[in-house]
Amino acid sequence: MTVRLRSYTLYGMQDNPEKLYWKISEVAEIVGVKPEQLRYWEKEHGLLRPVRKGGKRRYTRRDIQIALIVKALQDSGEDLKKISYQLREIHNADFYNRALRTFLRSLKGDIRRLLDEIARIKKEIGEVY
């Protein structure tokens, strides 16, 4: 997996903490997927429920958090059909705990890769000077 600074984070949501809604292009960038993927998750699996304003999709923080969890689970090999079924089961605490653990493991892996890359760059810079 390629390290993307914005993958699996709420980084794009920090720019304006008072913001209530995000456009599909903004959410796609935050989550690290294409807008078509978000639409697919919404239409085919009912995972996201963006608000419609002026014919445009507007996503809330909750939508973004769900999309981040879905992305992390998919990247870890989970089947989308299973993810969508279990996310709809409100009382499935075990699934939510496992999803959050997977999400946090993904974050930890991204941080580890970024730190390794920083160490490599520092070493290269040190060899030059």
3-class state of residue 52 by DSSP: strand
Q: What is the pLDDT of residue 10?
A: 54
Q: Looking at per-residue confidence, does 86 or 40 come out higher? A: 40
Q: What is the pTM of this model?
A: 0.65
Structural domain boundaries in the chain: 11-128
Q: What is the pLDDT of residue 94?
A: 72
pLDDT tens digit sequence for 107-123: 888 899 899 999 999 99
* Cβ pair 28, 38 in contact under 8 A: yes
Pick from 5, 28, 20: which is nearest to 62 by CA? 20
- Looking at the domain 11-128, which fold is it? Multidrug-efflux Transporter Regulator; Chain: A; Domain 2 (1.10.1660)
pLDDT tens digit sequence for 1-56: 333 444 445 555 556 677 889 999 999 999 999 999 999 999 988 889 899 988 89
Q: What is the pLDDT of residue 47?
A: 86
